[in-house]
């Protein structure tokens, strides 16, 4: 890394300085809301840990332990509270630092395996507004992306038995941040069974160790959940039913605003079901989530082709868009609907589309050359598959794997620049 910085000193520090400015600029550009939605619940859970030593998203005079959300991001906030006295700004600074480290780590992977592309990977990671905007939000995307990159760093920059132990622990922590990744270990295991190096015995030992360490990493939390509920809840059990239910009919996100979303008529099979859903949504407890799950399964059985159509039509929303839709721009300068508001939204949409196009181009170039770079693509494919039956109409859900798209985009960009200046293609591996 030191040699890389020395060789690319001017560009490195330009990108680093610009990246820091962009991240702090987001604190002015975005009106980050902490009083509702996921941010509010994360802060409440962290506050309950800080004030009472209880993991719970509840409020009031009696705080009961729960497992509505995975615990690791609230625990991350709790650690910052311990040293800052519940400072939101310290959370933002910590996430900015984490984002910079993520950029350095993924660049380190590029330095080893595609060295001529490394500076472009670093540049995209630092200059991308989509990486920057989440550092100011009390949401788990920055931490999740950081852990995914750490896992890939362990797998691609280390050799021998220890990398499987490290990767297993990190995957366990990842699942404690976002339980949607609980099946990701099986994707890595399947890949390394067929394409990993080494003899059959060593691969078996390595992958078995990897899986056991992963299970042991989440086991204490699973045991804690069993103690308070006497049911098997590996990580959390709060919102799957609602996500599955919206997934069977929703094809876009335009209905999902408001305290009670403006559900379209196609969401319900009858007026009775509409009443059931509205009442369940108001409560939004475990019993309500079970109802949503039952309704989703009924719709899957009755109208499987309609459900698959919804899955297919919704998939582009996971990737395309401005990636700023969940954030409110500074109203003093970007009033909703104004020319500058529209211009900025168009810019973000175009930039995201460009990065995705470069990422696809770069991935096609790298992945067809051999299996070595497939681990970088596995979390991307996993995200596309696992979110298909869920309410994946927000591209926020693909944000944790966006750095991997930028990795491939950096390779594509370096190729394009090399061809423009008629240099040798940067095919260094």
Contact 82/74 with Cβ under 8 angstroms?
A: no
Average pLDDT over residues 141-164: 94
Q: If you ran DSSP here, which 8-state letter would residue 315 be given?
A: G
Please, where are the H alpha helices in 30-133? 37-52, 72-84, 88-113, 118-127, 129-133
Contact 163, 154 (CB under 8 A): yes
Q: Is the pLDDT of residue 429 over 70?
A: no
The helix (run of H) or strand (run of E) holding residue 302 is helix 286-302
Q: What is the pLDDT of residue 426?
A: 53
Distance CA 93, CA 193 (A): 40
Which pLDDT tens digit goes with each residue over 343-380? 999 999 999 999 999 999 999 999 998 788 999 999 99
- Rounded Cα gap, residues 178 and 396, in angstroms: 13
CB-based contact 117:19 (threshold 8 Å) = no
Minimal CA–CA distance to 115: which of 413, 349, 356, 428?
428
**Predicted pLDDT at 159:** 84
How is residue 233 annotated by DSSP? -
Q: What is the pLDDT of residue 195?
A: 86
- Would you tell me how many other CB atoms lie within 10 Å of the CB of residue 262? 10
How does residue 180 score in pLDDT terms, banded at 50, 70 and 90?
very high
User: What percent of the chain has a predicted confidence (pLDDT) above 70?
Assistant: 97
Q: Is the separation of the CB atoms in 239 and 233 below 8 Å?
A: no
User: Could you tell me what percent of the chain has a pLDDT over 90?
Assistant: 66
Per-domain residue ranges of the chain = 2-237+319-420
What does the pLDDT read at residue 280? 84
Whole-number Cα distances in Å, 173 to 38, 218, 424: 20, 7, 41
> Mean of the pLDDT values across residues 86-114?
95
Q: What are phi and psi of 55, to 5 degrees?
A: -85, 110
């Amino acid at each position: 890394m030191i040699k890389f910085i020395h060789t690319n000193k001017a560009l490195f520090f330009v990108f680093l300085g610009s990246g820091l400015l962009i991240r702090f600029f987001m604190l002015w550009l975005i009106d980050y809301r902490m009083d509702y939605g996921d941010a509010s619940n994360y802060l409440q859970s962290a506050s309950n840990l800080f004030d009472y030593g209880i993991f719970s998203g509840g409020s009031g005079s009696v705080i009961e332990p729960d497992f509505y959300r995975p615990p690791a991001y609230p625990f991350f906030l709790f650690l910052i509270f311990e040293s800052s006295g519940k400072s939101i700004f310290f959370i933002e600074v910590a996430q900015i630092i984490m984002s910079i480290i993520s950029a350095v780590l993924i660049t380190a992977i590029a330095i080893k395996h595609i060295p001529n592309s490394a500076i472009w990977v670093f540049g995209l990671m630092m200059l991308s507004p989509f990486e920057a905007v989440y550092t100011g939000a009390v949401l788990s995307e920055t931490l999740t992306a950081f852990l995914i990159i750490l896992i890939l760093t362990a797998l691609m920059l280390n050799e021998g038995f220890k990398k499987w132990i490290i990767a297993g622990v990190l995957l366990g922590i990842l699942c404690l941040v976002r339980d949607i990744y609980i099946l990701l270990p099986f994707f890595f295991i399947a890949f390394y069974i067929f394409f990993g190096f080494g003899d059959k015995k060593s691969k078996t030992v390595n992958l078995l160790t990897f899986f056991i360490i992963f299970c042991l990493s989440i086991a204490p939390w699973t045991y804690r959940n069993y103690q308070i509920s006497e049911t098997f809840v590996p990580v959390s059990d709060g919102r799957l039913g609602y996500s599955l239910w919206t997934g069977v009919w929703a094809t876009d996100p335009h209905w999902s605003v408001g305290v009670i979303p403006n559900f379209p008529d196609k969401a319900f099979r009858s007026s009775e079901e509409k009443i059931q859903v509205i009442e369940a949504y108001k409560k939004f407890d475990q019993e309500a989530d079970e109802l949503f799950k039952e309704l989703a399964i009924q719709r899957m059985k009755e109208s499987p082709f309609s459900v698959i159509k919804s899955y297919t039509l919704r998939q582009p929303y996971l990737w395309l868009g401005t990636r700023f839709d969940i954030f409110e721009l500074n109203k003093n300068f970007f009033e909703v609907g104004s020319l500058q508001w529209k211009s900025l939204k168009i810019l973000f949409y175009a930039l995201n589309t460009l990065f995705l196009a470069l990422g696809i181009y770069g991935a096609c170039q790298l992945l067809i050359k051999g299996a070595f770079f497939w681990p970088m693509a596995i979390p991307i494919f996993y995200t596309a598959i696992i979110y298909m039956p869920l309410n994946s109409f927000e591209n926020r859900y693909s944000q944790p794997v966006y750095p991997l798209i930028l990795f491939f985009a950096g390779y594509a960009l370096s190729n394009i620049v090399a061809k423009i200046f008629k240099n040798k293609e940067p095919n260094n591996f």
